[in-house]
Structure 1
Amino acid sequence: MPAPGAASVRHIPAEKLAVSKPTWWLESRFHFSFADYHNPSNTNFGALRVVNDDLVKPKAGFGAHPHRDAEIYSYVLQGELSHKDSMGNYESLGRGCVQYMSAGTGVTHAEMNDGDKTCRFLQVWITPDRRGHEPQYGSSSYDKADRHNKLLHILGGTGAVPAWPGLQKGRCITLHQDANVFVSENDAGVQHDITLGAGRQAYLVCMEGSLTVATGESETHMKQRDAAELVADKKPDYLSLKAGSEGAHFMLIEMKQGK
């Protein structure tokens, strides 16, 4: 077996993210082309199509609208996010919860902040492995202890789950794609050492706090809302994720290279 190498890291500072046009109820930061932000050179990262960091004011939100052929999930950071869809599902989810919908052949849903405080959540879209899946819905609720100083596996896919140290198996919802999603909320100085498999890549978002990504002799320092594209070479690549002085709450989306 060849010796592991150092993964390549492309840092995306928060100030480089596109911000939605001003409106009274919504502020969104777009990691990829979306809505009024169109950049032909920034449309996806492999199967990852959308990462939006949304702030929704109380008693407002996204009214009923259709989707199809997309794996869509939301991870709540503050406040509460209510989901209602044409399949008859309705629930309100708080911090650390994940809500997943496979739009498949078509579904209509609404996402609202019915609470009294601003709701912040990350919404992510992943391109499915084929068109025409049957629509489905799922959600999981977690306490801080589930992700505290450990990697919590919140969504799985059609491929294998990486055998990383400290991995906590969650109540996983299955994506129609070879991808895995992990979250972790860490105290200052906590470090996770992981290996990206050959032909794999990952998208990292520092949702809260700060984080250092070390690979080989290179270090990338990330602050709140920064992102990074991590790509392995033709052999497994090592990297470490270390929480900064204020701790770090991050999401890591691991997937095969290419669509």
Structure 2
Amino acid sequence: MIDLRPFNSLGGANHGWLDAKHHFSFANYHDPKRMNWGNLRVWNDDTIAPNSGFPPHPHRDMEIITYVREGAITHQDNLGNLGRTEAGDVQVMSAGTGITHAEYNKEDITTRIFQIWIQPTRSGEKPGWGARPFPKGERSGQFVVLASGFDGDGDALPIRTNARVVAATLKAGDTAEYPLGKDRRAYLVPATGAVEIEGTRVNARDGAAVSDLDVLRVTAIADSEIVLVDAA
């Protein structure tokens, strides 16, 4: 029902300018038990040094969601998109038939992000990029949808897949519920704080792979900022 993946068990590599931790097999880290969780393929916990970043590189056929935890990330791509996404906000890149992009920390402080890759349901479509702010006050005590492949999810950024990315900020002692459904899978990571799910403690930057739950109930042990992917 809940597979806890402590932060110190994650794969990763420190490149100096980038300290990357991988919840799933990625780059030179390979664990056959951590290849994916449903259609969720990548969850990277990246710490990017000031005035550095990822130079231009290509992607295709992947939905890439970036959640900025601290600092800011500046995106630029070969479609002419240019944008800066700050802490608490989200950007989505639908790689589609192919896109080349760069992601830079142009700040004078460290930037920390979650980068999430979800396999698309639809392929053969044009690439695209979008970003928007999600004030933390609006998700105080409740889950808010940040990115969604479903109609009717309000101002959520669109993704081309059977999944949602949601987030909540909880005060210590507060509980939030998310209607998951037993046919779905969730992967939850507290960006800060610590939470409890079905008697299991999940600390900051730990991962919790959740299945076979109609309703996911999360109780904050400390003030917490939570990001969750609802995957097929």
**Fold shared, TM-score > 0.5 on shorter chain:** yes
The question of whether the paired residues in 2 share the 8 Å contact of 1:211 and 1:243 is answered with: yes
Kept after mapping to 2: 8 A contact 1:152/1:170: no
Please state whether the residue corresponding to 2:231 is helix, strand or coil.
strand
**Match of 1:39, SS?**
coil
Task: With the length of structure 2 as denominator, give the TM-score of the two structures.
Answer: 0.95
Task: Flag the 1:250–1:170 CA change in 2: closer, same or farther, 3 A.
Answer: farther
Give CA-to-partner distance per residue, 1:41-87, whole Å, 9 cap, x none: 32111100100000000010000000000000100000110000111
Match of 1:184 in 2: 168
* Deviation at residue 198 of structure 1 after TM alignment: 3.2
Bigger Cα Rg: 1
Return 179-188 or 56-65, whichever deviates more: 179-188
Alignment partner of 1:85 out of 67, 71, 77: 77
Q: CA deviation at 1:187?
A: 1.1
Distance in 1 between residues matched to 2:85 and 2:216, nearest whole Å: 33
Structure 2: which amino acid aligns with 1:240? R
What residue number does 1:240 align with?
Answer: 217
2:187 is matched with 203
Amino acid at match of 2:214: D
Greater mean alpha carbon deviation, residues 100-109 or residues 180-189 = 180-189
Taking the TM superposition and a 5 Å limit, the aligned residue runs for 1:159-174 are 171-174=155-158
Q: What is the aligned counterpart of 1:15 among 8, 22, 40? A: 8
Q: Among the aligned pairs, what percent are the same residue?
A: 37
Which one of the candidate residues 70, 95, 102 is aligned to 1:103? 95
Per the normalisation by structure 1, the TM-score is 0.86
| Aligned 8 A contact 1:156 1:179 in 2 | yes
Across the aligned residues of Structure 1 and Structure 2, the Cα RMSD in angstroms comes to 1.5
1:68 aligns with 2:68: no
Q: How many residues align?
A: 232
Report if the CA contact (8 A) 1:154-1:170 is conserved: no
d(CA) in 2 for partners of 1:137, 1:220: 36
Q: C-alpha separation between the residues in 2 aligned to 1:138 and 1:101? A: 7
Describe the superposition over 1:130-171 as per-residue Cα deviations: whole angstroms up to 9, x where unpaired: 43221111111122212222211101114x77xxxxxxx662
1: CA distance, partners of 2:120 / 2:216 = 28
Q: Paired residue for 1:250?
A: 226
Unaligned runs of 5+ in 2: none
Classify the secondary structure of the residue corresponding to 1:58: coil
Q: Gapped runs of 5+ residues in structure 1?
A: 1-7, 162-168
| Code of the aligned partner of 1:189 | G
